[in-house]
Structure 1
Amino acid sequence: MPDHLKKSFSSGNGHPLSWGAPGSASATFAAGLVFENVSHDYDGVDSVKDLSLSIAPGEILCLLGHSGCGKTTLMRIAAGVERQSRGKVLINGREVAGQDHFMPPEKRGVGLMFQDYALFPHMSILANVMFGLTGVPRKEAKAAALSALGRVGLADYAADYPHALSGGEQQRVALARALVPRPGILLMDEPFSGLDKRLRDNVRDETLAVIRETRATCIIVTHDPEEAMRMGDRIALMRRGRLVQSGTAADLYNAPVDLFAARFFSELNQLEGKVSSAGIETPVGVLEASGLSEGQQVDVCIRPQGIVLNAAGLCGVPGRVRSKRFVGEVDLLSIVVDGLDRPLQARVRAGCEWNEGMDVAVTTDPKDVLVFPRQASQF
């Protein structure tokens, strides 16, 4: 059996090799990063529009949004790979990119980890990690690279080449290479998108542990809201080049600024409502209308777990279970209610008593109800 396959199975149980000892990653001097009214376009097509955002030293910020919203462009501007059309970029209060000043990438103290890892196929794993240590004596560079590989559990692979590694192992090499120069800011572009879910969860958690140890300021670009919530101290949500909302995961989930932000973090049952003196009148009953004006048209959004079912004839509006699907820990129910064009989607604990064809009474849990003023077009 080839050496690299022996190493791949050395754990003896089919699981990935473990990462290195926690606490062994070299610490950095974290830097603050600020975007001031940054805009950028490609041949007249806006990619980033008048965006202002501050990241504190040592903070992990997840830059979240759909493909093409400008996340990667903003990261490349921070790294100095792209020069913005307008606005300023500051690191530790010092302007590194503006109208009359531009600091090249190699002088910014910024580490960049690409989505495809960008390992050099003709270079050994050790040489790949050493690549960014320019100006460092070879003996010291080798020691630092081996230490970084040890922290990600790949010191035994130092003499191998990238093709001998799995996707998860290549990701770990790319992380070691980005961190070994001890950057004050680490930028990661969709670093886990190429991994299957089982492996992704493990690699993501271990990567987060390494970043915490180094204390580097970090921006992680992702389109996955769960990933952003799991990894980020804060989340910055973008849409069409603009910043929609920034805050903690709890801020964005519990108090989204608009329907776009709400939809990004959970499935929604969207209903039309009108504010009356009694509250918001909807097909599922009258809901609280705090802060809204009488006569106002609104969009009422109810998360599937916020649909509450009671026995027919009890509290709630009449409905009927059209379908029931078991998906592990929960059952997904489709509920037909008079006055609605489409069934409500409910998420309840698996093994519930509700079955197809049963009549039920439908109410809602206020904590899973979001209300937004009606807009002509949200998307």
Structure 2
Amino acid sequence: MKAAINKNQFLRQIRRRPFTLLGPLALLVLIYYFFFSSPKSQSKYSYKVKKAGFFDRKSDVIPRNLPGDHISHYDLNKLASTPMAVYNKEKVLILTPVSRFYDEYWMNLLRLTYPRELLELGFIVPRTKDGDLALKKLEKAIKQVQTGKKENRFSKITILRQDTESLASQDEKHRHALKVQKDRRSNMALARNSLLFSALGPYTSWVLWLDSDIVETSPTLIQDLVSHDKPIISANCYQRFYDEEQKKDSIRPYDYNNWVESEEGLKIASNMAEDDIIVEGYPEIATYRALMAHFYDANGDPNTEMELDGVGGAAVLVKADVHRDGAMFPPFPFYHLIETEGFAKMAKRLGYQVFGLPNYLVYHYNE
């Protein structure tokens, strides 16, 4: 009788307060959902199959951008650097340390025919008076392009301010003086590394290092260098000038950092102090290396290749995986080499070959 009374009282309480059981019931439903249900998971990416060495025209790493997704996945095993970069829609990152802004550099950059939607740009500017002026000009030039027609816009542009010291004077005679080379090139190496590590993306296939004072190249520069399918390949940097003796326009070698090692160079290095460096192109350090600048043949095949041990930074194309594997620009003496030449040495120590094109010219600004 007592149990029946308690039951009746319980039922009356439920009728009066029906929500008293909602909490326990909700808890039971949640427990059932987490432990007994198995909803199918959905992948954020769809990948195309690589056939016969070529990718499908749709990118292998572009996300579907499903609502609510906040994690990006990239399969670097599917990322390639091939001689058919345009066909395979491979992204190219052009990196330029900027000490001065030259209109000719920018106009030449805009004449490159590699598809803009596959091009990213990266710049690093020093905190100097010249750097401040260069930054203003650079930002103005970028704004004109990026607010113009969509098909003319670059995929992405990154600008960094250099957080290390730079030479107060960027005049040619000052920045090329032998006594400032170690400090100057160490700072340049730090700037290049900062730019590389900040701008390199998981979708980047190629990196083109293009100095800010390179004012003339072939419009097909990227396609031309890509076609060689080399881990690292450098153009030959020359300079146009007016020859007073011949009374005509002429050209002359400019970049002597593309070279083949010599026995004398190795001997000099073996007798150096640990922190000393060899800087090529100065009579005070006669290495007798074979300089690519001296191998130019006006009637030669522009596709002629030569293997190098040192490389400059004027116009160098690098497969992105070379950088991903650890090849950077040493700001310290690395086998008595530094910056771009140290980069070539590091890449070779990692098992990559370095090449140059002695008959393929790009042109440096003539101050």
The reply to whether TM is greater than 0.5 is no
Answer 1 or 2: higher relative contact order, Cα 8 Å, separation at least 6. 2
More helix by share: 2
TM range (shorter): under 0.3
Choose between structure 1 and 2: higher strand proportion.
Answer: 1
